[in-house]
Structure 1
């Protein structure tokens, strides 16, 4: 995906930093999902982040992450997806195609 502006890049890096801090030391995989590539979006201002935990996920951390991300005023549409709640075939495709931000520890 081509970037829209320095603001987009800056805010995206802030989101990444929030998620890496929130899930530091956790056995999780965090990926940025390219919605355009998947055919889910034709709007480059939409992004999705997938999180998959090897153990029972801590839903509170997902909620806390969204609250922190909301405070940085990301001016684009963003979804945070718990990949343990999608079908295995979709999860496999997203994990294969996504940009890995954090891999299993």
Structure 2
């Protein structure tokens, strides 16, 4: 990931805390995706967070999380991605390059 400011890091930690709190009891893997490393994004104002549930993901929790994230006024676009809808090879690459915030139980 790119060198970032202390404010960016603080707000990213707030996002992580929101997601870990929301999905604490869920059997889900949460990954901060490095979009640039894989060439998925050239936009430096965008981050992606992948969710890989072992069973059906509660979309209401994703929506609620996104609303809470918007409340901290993070200056970047935050995309929440359901990784259960992508191929195993893409997931493997994202796991290789990303930062796992929560792993399955």
Distance 1:61 1:92 in 2: 25
Q: TM-score, normalised by structure 2?
A: 0.92
What pairs up with 1:1-105 in 2 under 5 angstroms? 1-105=1-105
Aligned mates of 2:66, 2:3 — CA distance in 1: 22
1:53 offset after TM fit, Å?
0.5
CA deviation after TM superposition for structure 1 residue 87, in Å: 2.5
Once the 2 structures are TM-superposed, how far is the Cα of residue 47 of structure 1 from its aligned partner?
1.0
RMSD: 1.3
Unmatched 5+ stretches in structure 1: none
- Residues 9-58 of structure 1: CA deviation (Å, up to 9, x unaligned): 11100000000000002110000000111111233332110011101111
Aligned residue for 2:44, secondary structure, equals: coil
Structure 2, unaligned stretches of length 5 or more?
none
C-alpha deviation, 1:92, in angstroms: 2.4
- Provide the C-alpha distance between the structure 1 equivalents of 2:98 and 2:61, rounded to a whole number of angstroms: 21
Runs of 4 or more above 4 Å deviation: none
Aligned length: 105
Give the secondary structure class of the aligned counterpart of 2:37.
helix
